Amino acid sequence: MSLRIVHYLNQFFGQKGGEEAAGFPIEAFDGAVAVGGQIQNLLKGQGEIVQTIICGDDYANENVDKVTAKIKEILTATKPDLLIAGPAFNAGRYGMACGQAAKVASELGIPVISGMYEENPGYELYRPFMFTIGTGNSAASMRQALPDMVKLVEAFIQKGANGLDPKEDGYMPRVIRINTFAEKRGAERAVAMLVRKLKGEAIETEYPMPVFDRVEPQPAIKDMAHATIALVTSGGVVPHGNPNRIEASSASKYGEYSLVGVDTLTPEGYETAHGGYDPVACNQDPNRVLPVDVLREMEKEGRIGKLYELFYTTVGNGTSVSNAKKFGAAIAQKLKDAGVSAAILTST
């Protein structure tokens, strides 16, 4: 019996357009569309994509309740054996949308297979709800991603969702706990692992721990009265209209804007582009997220030397670690080159 599959795609891979079509509303189409046809061919009759869901990345991330309700409606009516989402590579908004679809499917008891880059925020937030093949950073790795995803579909056909194993079947960890029975109790396994480690032999932990960056703090500023202080925010404060079109989620860029002649941020001149928190308070008084007004007062009182003439801003909501590191390094270098003494980093 051929597997009945529903496929989720964004506007680009669903051939509805590029960034200009990111607001494309969610819609269902019969059969395989675009890249779905390649997946169906690789399955060689083992599965059929009976319906394809296409939704623009902006629309999916800005209308979560509406989109997830529609996905639930489609899946309930179609009753597929499997949902395939993506692959989304390192496209953050796309990954988040795939993850949201996966959560809906999982809650309906429908297994989900996806493909994402390991730093995609969609994988980080939604990995318990899907079996995710690791892909390259961009669609340049499509030739490898699709066969890898199909191989996992074939394993699912043979074993069922409960029989899949990340080591055997090649998907990234889901970070969920499953009770299993082992021949030896944990204390014995731990001692045996310690003995192997003391002998210099290779060991593999049963519970890998996360690795976090550690940044050494810089020396304190001794003379604040002559210091130049900059403002940097991940709270998305931008000039009204968001001139650089910084995304509300999974930002791919940051903005650099002038504060020359600006004593306070007014709601007429500034707003937040951030999609991950209630924007009302910030839009009423943008200084709540980017405290230009207070720093101007401190500047006039001589408590700091001056407020740096530029501020830097991006959106932290769902932004990948790789992009965040890239933004931070670029901004820090600009501040260093400008002779800025210190930066105040604000969030939401």
Put simply, whether the predicted model's pTM sits higher than 0.85 gets the answer no
Question: What distance in Å separates the CA atoms of residue 149 and residue 86, rounded to the nearest whole number?
Answer: 10
Do residues 136 and 7 both lie within one domain?
yes
Smallest Cα–Cα separation from 320: which of 87, 124, 133?
Answer: 124
Do residues 139 and 229 both lie within one domain?
no
Q: Looking at the domain assignment, is residue 163 inside a domain?
A: yes
**Tens digit of pLDDT for each residue in 243-254?**
999 988 778 899
pLDDT at 46: 93
Do residues 151 and 243 both lie within one domain?
no
Q: Looking at the domain assignment, is residue 203 inside a domain?
A: no
Question: What distance in Å separates the CA atoms of residue 238 and residue 273, rounded to the nearest whole number?
Answer: 7
Do residues 229 and 165 both lie within one domain?
no
**Tens digit of pLDDT for each residue in 185-220?**
999 999 999 999 999 999 988 877 777 778 888 899
**Tens digit of pLDDT for each residue in 321-339?**
778 889 999 999 999 999 9
From the CA atom positions of the chain, what is the Rg in Å? 24
SS3 for 225? helix
Do residues 141 and 253 both lie within one domain?
no
> What is the span of the domain harbouring residue 31?
3-169
pLDDT at 2: 84
**What is the mean pLDDT of the segment spanning 9-37?**
94
pLDDT greater than 80 at residue 125 = yes
Q: Looking at the domain assignment, is residue 197 inside a domain?
A: no
Per the CB < 8 A criterion, the answer to whether 53 and 8 are in contact is yes
**What is the mean pLDDT of the segment spanning 312-320?**
87
Helices and strands (H, E) in the chain, number of each type: 11, 12
pLDDT at 323: 84
Do residues 20 and 160 both lie within one domain?
yes
Q: Looking at the domain assignment, is residue 185 inside a domain?
A: no
pLDDT greater than 80 at residue 16 = yes
The residue type found at 157 is: I
pLDDT band at 1 (very low <50, low <70, confident <90, very high): low
**What is the mean pLDDT of the segment spanning 88-113?**
94
What domain count does the chain have? Answer: 2
Do residues 142 and 79 both lie within one domain?
yes
Instruction: List, in order, residues 6 or more apart from 284 with CB less than 8 Å away.
Output: 267
Query: 257 or 91, which is more confident?
Result: 257
pLDDT greater than 90 at residue 276 = no
Smallest Cα–Cα separation from 52: which of 92, 83, 90?
Answer: 83
Do residues 20 and 130 both lie within one domain?
yes
pLDDT band at 38 (very low <50, low <70, confident <90, very high): very high
Question: What distance in Å separates the CA atoms of residue 75 and residue 91, rounded to the nearest whole number?
Answer: 24
- Residue 45: which region, alpha, beta or left (left: phi > 0; alpha: psi -120 to 50)? left
pLDDT at 231: 98
Smallest Cα–Cα separation from 37: which of 57, 52, 24, 27?
Answer: 52
pLDDT greater than 60 at residue 114 = yes
Percentage above 90 pLDDT, the chain:
78
pLDDT at 138: 84
Do residues 65 and 163 both lie within one domain?
yes
Q: Looking at the domain assignment, is residue 60 inside a domain?
A: yes
pLDDT at 319: 80
Mean per-residue pLDDT of the chain:
93
Percentage above 70 pLDDT, the chain:
100
